[in-house]
């Protein structure tokens, strides 16, 4: 049967996501988290922390107040690689949850800005 919804609409319904079992495989998630731990030790990541800027709210924080966030969450198919990792304050990281950048843009548009 043909579904007229876009793939993004059909994967997200009012705060709920249909997650791909391959993306949420515990072994894959653990492997990606191990990669993220290694990246945290790199000079590039340390430099990002020293800048102290949250990727989402652009506020300045001490490095101890910042977390590593996967822009595309692991459970949504994201990977632990520098292009998908950003510094985020705890509040923004917790608010983001499993949202992708597309989800965030659509939510802002839906809410009028």
Query: Can you tell me whether residue 31 is helix, strand or coil?
Result: helix
Annotated domain spans of the chain? 7-110
In 3D space, the residue among 65, 64, 61, 39 whose CA is nearest the CA of residue 52 turns out to be: 61
Residues with Cβ within 8 Å of residue 84, at least 6 apart in sequence: 70, 71, 72, 78
Element (H, E) at 30: helix 26-40
CATH label, 7-110, candidates 3.40.50.2000, 3.40.50.10190, 1.10.30.50, 1.10.1200.10: 1.10.30.50
Structure tokens at 110: 């839906």
The pLDDT tens digits of the residues spanning 36-89 come to 999 999 999 999 999 999 999 999 999 999 999 999 999 999 999 999 999 999
């Amino acid at each position: 049967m043909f579904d007229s919804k876009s793939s993004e609409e059909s994967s997200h319904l009012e705060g709920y996501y249909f997650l791909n079992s391959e993306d949420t495989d515990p072994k894959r998630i653990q492997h990606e988290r191990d990669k993220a731990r290694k990246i945290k030790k790199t000079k590039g990541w340390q430099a990002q922390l020293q800048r102290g800027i949250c990727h989402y709210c652009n506020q300045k924080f001490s490095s101890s107040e910042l977390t590593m966030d996967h822009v595309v969450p692991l459970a949504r198919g994201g990977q632990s690689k520098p292009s998908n990792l950003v510094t985020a304050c705890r509040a923004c990281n917790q608010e983001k949850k499993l949202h992708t950048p597309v989800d965030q843009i659509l939510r802002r548009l839906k809410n009028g800005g």
